[in-house]
Structure 1
Amino acid sequence: MSITVNGLDELKKLAGSDLGVSSWIEVTQDRIDTFADATDDHQWIHTDPERAAAGPFGRPVAHGHLTLSLFIPLFTGLLEVDGVTTKVNYGLNRVRFPAPVPVGARIRLAARLAGAEDVPGGGVQITVDGTVEIEGAAKPACVLQSISRFYA
């Protein structure tokens, strides 16, 4: 279920709020291969199912940075900010990959809007604590703190 706010003032009022969990998305071999092509990272643990089956994870796994990149579409499913002209990914404070995402697994995002503050130029910067969960797994795929800026 998505939360929708209208404008920067409503966005700031969400500081400290739990944003819930996103819908699940499947990490397919096709998605992994497309990411490998886009980043020129064709390491066999990601792109060679036969070799990966005999490797440390028993099958191909997603690139950590693929998992990280999926934060944006997962987050967009949690929070919609209307009444702004520009949305910018400003950076990350920290990122960890506690567990690999095996091909065919489903992931989702659990997020909390940890903070919101005014920034020069008439914008608001938000800090989001996120955990990318793997369905049925004890450990998350990714734990991160993301920073985004919104301008009216």
Structure 2
Amino acid sequence: MSKTLSFKTYSAKPGEVKRTWHIIDAENQVLGRMAAQIANVLRGKHKPQFTPHIDTGDFVVVTNAAKVALSGKKRDDKTYFSHSHYPGGVRIDSVKDLLQKKPEKVIEHAVWGMLPHNNLGRQLFKKLKVYAGPEHPHAAQMPVEMKINQ
């Protein structure tokens, strides 16, 4: 008797997902390339049980956010635009200023742009932890070093 293959599509259940912690050193890493790989890990696309509508991703800790690299002249030219919806409420921040004041926001903004913009994306985004310096409070979770492909 021969065994037949099953052609059923596997769908992960929220309780079955095993989450690990990854740590990334952002020093001299190109922002966009790093953000794309972080978004894939947050979504769980690196796992064989990836399911698009379920949070199958892992936690990501990013350190040294202040030392992230930007290609070209983006450090001088790139700006972030926001508006408060009040008259005269335009706020334009340059990357150069933001890297000095709140370097975490630069990485968070880049990763958020690569996640789905819905309830699942907001849930995924909560698993991203970004720190300006090399110290982080997540040593107890034993994060695994993650290499960024350049």
Task: Provide TM-score, normalisation by structure 1.
Answer: 0.31
Task: Provide TM-score, normalisation by structure 2.
Answer: 0.31
Q: Which has the higher helix share?
A: 2
Q: Which has the higher strand share?
A: 1
